[in-house]
Amino acid sequence: MSTWNRMDWEDIADLTDRAFWGVGLGQDWAQMMWPYLAKAGLTRYRTEIERCQVKIYAMALADFYHQFCWVACQEPQDEEYCDWAEALELSEFRIGQMMGDDPDFEPDETRGYSLTQAALRFLIKDARTRLMPVMAEFPGGALGLMQTLMYCSRDYSYDDEIQSPQDVFVDWTVISSGQGY
């Protein structure tokens, strides 16, 4: 029987450098969320496939943050899933293994995605369903999470007046489902 390993924040540093550059305090937000994933057991693995799944959770966290920025702040972000996978050393072979023969997977050729991009999009969307209950455990619940997202998603200087979450209406169901963009 193999022992449990844990992926620490430092293990995904290359992803955070690529996924959060120029997007407010996104790295700070993701680093703040990582212990909640750890507490829920989403950073633990025994096998290589489980290790890759933890990387997908990290990508789903980045994707959630980007979608929030898009919905709340009208800051569109490119879906750079293949770049993120490269930063995490997540190979196409492992992505294929994770996909297996999932009958629900249908590549979306109308959006011009490569097969790898479509598979990553599918895996990330699935991972978000596991992340949402974890994120709901954030202090203050959904409102507390929205407050930190609002703060971290903007590029503030010390002279800026920070908007409250009430200043921007965000439909939680849109962000949590991954359907906002």
DSSP string covering 126-177, please? Answer: HHHHHHHHHHTTSTTHHHHHHHHHHHHTS---TTSPPPPGGGS---HHHHHH
Q: What is the dihedral of CA 40, 44, 45, 48, to 10 degrees?
A: 110
At 170 the pLDDT is 44
The residue to which tokens 């009208």 are assigned: 74
Work out how many domains the chain is built from and give that number: 1
Domain membership flag for residue 37 = yes
Residue 1 lies inside a defined structural domain of this protein: no
Residue 78 falls within a domain, yes or no?
yes
* C-alpha distances in Å from residue 70, one per residue of 65, 73, 92: 9, 6, 28
pLDDT value at position 30? 85
Q: Which amino acid does the sequence have at 147?
A: Q
Pick out the chain residues at pLDDT < 70: 1, 21-24, 73, 75-79, 108-112, 153-181
- The whole-angstrom separation of Cα 65 and Cα 72 is 10
The pTM (predicted TM-score) of the whole model is 0.79
- Predicted local distance difference test score (pLDDT) of residue 22: 56
- Which residues constitute the domain of residue 150? 7-177
Amino acid at 180: G
Instruction: Give pLDDT, residue 21.
Output: 60
76 within a domain of the structure (yes/no): yes
Rounded Cα distance between 58 and 55, Å, is: 5
Residue 156 included in any domain = yes
Question: Within a domain: residue 106?
Answer: yes
